């Protein structure tokens, strides 16, 4: 089974070593995030936000909060991928453009909100889980888009969430779910690591 999309997925690896001289323009960063935000979100909540850390000063600030990992400053950009706690009251506003585009009938909107309230109202663990799921889908879409354009990337959890939250001005309902470095790879990165056999991770019922 192969095609260009599968090739992109199969050939991705975590990038540790970046070409420090390579940059991405703000337009390229914008496009990357725009493509990433076509990833699915629960009830179309789109409860994510991305801070593109791309100046030398901001990257140095972030690296100090990210276990001094060199990739944070070496990569062209390091995204702080943010998930917002799921909030059902945002659903009418999120769905308005979908109704406007003639995709969804207006009468369905209240039902989506009711179902979302069932899941998220007064359920902080669910709200947080959804924030993490949303940010992770967005990051994954960016990772594979980057790969398809010949750029390397690495999702990173090696950072101190509380100071990142404070230093980069995240709101009370925002979680810095992961950092995501993106840039041009240089020589010396590891080859793809073997995976556990599918028999170990797949259950067919």
Structure-block tokens of residue 15: 């990038």
- Residue 155 lies near ligand FMN (rule: CB under 6 A): yes
Cα(151)–Cα(26) distance, integer angstroms: 15
For ligand FMN, the binding residue among 14, 58, 98, 149 (CB under 6 A) is 14
* Nearest approach, Cβ of residue 157 and ligand FMN (Å): 4
What order do you get walking across the sheet with 77-84 strand by strand? 48-53, 77-84, 174-183, 152-156
Judged by CB under 6 A, how many residues of this single chain contact ligand FMN? 12
Q: Which is nearer to ligand FMN, 113 or 185 (CB)?
A: 185
What's the CA gap between 44 and 112, in Å, rounded? 10
How far is Cα 33 from Cα 35, in angstroms, rounded to an integer?
Answer: 5
Q: How far apart are CA 39 and CA 178, in angstroms?
A: 16
Site string for ligand FMN, 54-83 (x = CB under 6 A): ---------------x--------------
Site of tokens 């995240």: 170
Task: Report which of 156, 195, 166 is spatially closest to residue 70, judged by C-alpha positions.
Answer: 156
Residues β-bridged to residue 172: none
**Of 9-17, 45-53, 119-127, 160-168, which segment contacts ligand FMN by CB under 6 A?**
9-17
Q: Nearest distance from residue 184's CB to ligand FMN, in Å? A: 17
Judged by CB under 6 A, the stretch of 54-62, 104-112, 152-160, 161-169 that binds ligand FMN is: 152-160
91: three-class secondary structure by DSSP: helix
Tell me which of 108, 158, 166, 171 binds ligand FMN, using CB under 6 A.
158
Using left for φ > 0, alpha for ψ between -120 and 50, and beta otherwise, residue 203 falls in beta
* Stretch touching ligand FMN by CB under 6 A, among 81-89, 123-131, 153-161, 164-172: 153-161
Kindly state whether residue 192 participates in binding ligand FMN, applying the rule CB under 6 A: yes
State in angstroms the smallest separation of the CB of 136 from ligand FMN.
Answer: 8
Binding interface with ligand FMN (CB under 6 A): 13-14, 16, 69, 154-158, 178, 192-193
């Amino acid at each position: 089974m192969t095609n260009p999309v599968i090739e992109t997925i199969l050939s991705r690896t975590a990038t540790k070593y970046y070409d420090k001289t390579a940059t991405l323009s703000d337009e390229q960063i914008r496009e990357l995030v725009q493509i990433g935000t076509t990833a699915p979100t629960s009830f179309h909540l789109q409860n994510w936000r991305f801070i593109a850390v791309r100046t030398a000063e901001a990257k140095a600030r972030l690296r100090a909060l990210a276990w001094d990992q060199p990739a944070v400053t070496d990569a062209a950009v390091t995204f702080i991928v943010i998930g917002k706690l799921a909030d059902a009251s945002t659903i009418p506003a999120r769905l308005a453009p979908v109704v406007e585009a003639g995709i969804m009938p207006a009468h369905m909107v209240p039902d989506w909100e009711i179902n979302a309230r069932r899941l998220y109202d007064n359920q902080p663990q669910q709200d947080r889980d959804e924030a993490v799921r949303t940010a992770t889908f967005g990051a994954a879409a960016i990772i594979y888009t980057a790969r398809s354009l010949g750029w390397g990337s690495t999702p990173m959890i090696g950072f101190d969430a509380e100071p990142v939250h404070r230093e980069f001005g995240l709101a009370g309902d925002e979680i810095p779910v992961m950092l995501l470095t993106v840039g041009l790879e240089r020589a010396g990165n590891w080859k793809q690591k073997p995976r556990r056999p599918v028999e170990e991770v797949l259950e067919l019922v």
